[in-house]
């Protein structure tokens, strides 16, 4: 039976996609497997899927890549070594000068900077910038980045009512054709904005709408970080789940607290959207 040309093209595209899934980025795999990574961080690889997520976003070692709010440096331990020889890594941390930045975030930002300084062989020339809307929004020179990455941060921006400004800042820093890779706790589509702020879960529709308003176009979605066990109706929101287990920390009875931790560890980390956007050429 003869195949139509259109069918052949679809088949070839499918085969190419399979090849991409099989072919792993060896340099990225080495960065993830490095003995320099913190043991506490590597224990979360099974929930965060770093190889699959970064390959889905299309990262390459010769790119200029910014990570928004790297916090304690979980992704920095992978990204900075991976990019240090041929690319560049921008750690866009919490602002040390903005009035809105709480002390604990400033301390975390300063600790990460110290970590970079004390381990130059591991992190290379990591570039530290900061982001706080509206006073500190140039995360990199305008139009200079190949990729911006952000992991589980959108709910914080929504809670602070500056999410639109953050998306505009990311858009401004990217080159035309540049990629925004985003992971966020995923809410059911019926969650209101107020409940998103309360629970830490965000709807895909809200993220996509906000990104489009800044100028981005959605390229792809992935279920790499999906967790169907997550019911999203926890008493302390997403923070009930590992690693925080916040709902269990408020229990007075030790036996009850142990049962609570067992329950939430069985669920695992949150169900997450994984979205890939582009700044149009």
- Spatial separation of the C-alpha atoms in residues 58 and 55, rounded to whole Å: 5
Alpha carbons 184 and 167: distance in angstroms, whole number: 14
Q: Please report whether residue 55 resides in a domain.
A: yes
Query: Which of 19, 9, 6, 275 minimizes the C-alpha distance to 149?
Result: 275
> Does residue 94 lie in a domain region?
yes
Q: Is residue 252 part of a domain?
A: no
Both tokens of 250, joined, read 């408020």
Domain residues for the domain of 142 are 25-228+271-278
Q: Per the structure, how many domains does the chain have? A: 1
Q: Are residues 196 and 155 in contact, defined by beta-carbon separation less than 8 angstroms?
A: yes
Please list the pLDDT of the chain residue by residue as tens digits (281 residues).
444 443 443 344 444 444 444 468 999 999 999 999 999 999 999 999 999 999 999 999 999 999 999 999 999 999 999 999 999 999 999 999 998 899 999 999 999 999 999 999 999 999 999 999 999 999 999 999 999 999 999 999 999 999 999 999 999 999 999 999 999 999 999 999 999 999 999 999 999 999 999 999 999 999 999 999 999 999 999 999 999 999 998 888 999 999 999 999 999 999 999 999 999 99
The answer to whether 63 and 87 are in contact (CB under 8 A) is: yes
Q: With respect to residue 198, please indicate whether it lies within any of the assigned structural domains.
A: yes
Does 256 reside within a domain? Answer: no
Whether residue 138 contacts residue 166, with contact meaning beta carbons closer than 8 Å, is answered with no
Q: What is the CATH number of the domain that holds 191?
A: 3.40.50.150
Contact 147, 59 (CB under 8 A): yes
Q: Is residue 11 part of a domain?
A: no
Interstrand relation of 88-94 and 217-222 (parallel, antiparallel or unpaired): unpaired
CA distances from 199 to 108, 160, 246 (A): 23, 14, 12
Q: In whole angstroms, what is the distance from residue 5 CA to residue 39 CA?
A: 51
């Amino acid at each position: 039976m003869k195949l139509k040309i259109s069918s052949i093209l679809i088949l070839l595209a499918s085969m190419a996609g399979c090849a991409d899934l099989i072919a792993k980025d060896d340099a990225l795999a080495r960065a993830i497997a490095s003995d320099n990574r913190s043991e506490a961080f590597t224990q979360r690889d099974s929930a965060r899927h770093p190889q699959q997520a970064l390959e889905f976003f299309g990262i390459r070692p010769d790119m200029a890549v910014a990570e928004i709010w790297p916090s304690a440096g979980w992704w920095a331990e992978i990204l900075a070594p991976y990019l240090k020889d041929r690319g560049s890594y921008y750690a866009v941390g919490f602002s040390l000068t903005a009035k809105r930045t709480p002390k604990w975030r400033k301390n975390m930002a300063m600790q990460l900077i110290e970590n970079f300084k004390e381990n130059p062989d591991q992190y290379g020339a990591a570039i530290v910038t900061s982001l706080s809307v509206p006073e500190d929004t140039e995360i990199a020179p305008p139009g200079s980045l190949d990729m911006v990455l952000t992991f589980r941060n959108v709910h914080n921006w929504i809670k602070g009512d500056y999410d639109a400004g953050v998306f505009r800042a990311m858009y401004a820093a990217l080159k035309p054709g540049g990629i925004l890779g985003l992971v966020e706790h995923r809410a059911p589509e019926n969650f209101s904005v107020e409940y998103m702020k309360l629970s830490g879960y965000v709807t895909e529709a809200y993220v996509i709408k906000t990104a489009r308003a800044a100028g981005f176009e959605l390229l792809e979605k992935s279920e790499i970080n999906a967790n169907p066990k997550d019911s999203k109706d926890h008493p302390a929101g997403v923070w009930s789940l590992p690693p925080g287990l916040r709902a269990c920390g408020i229990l007075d009875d030790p036996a009850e607290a142990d049962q609570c931790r067992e329950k939430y560890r069985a669920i695992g980390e949150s169900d997450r959207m994984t979205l890939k956007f582009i700044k149009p050429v």
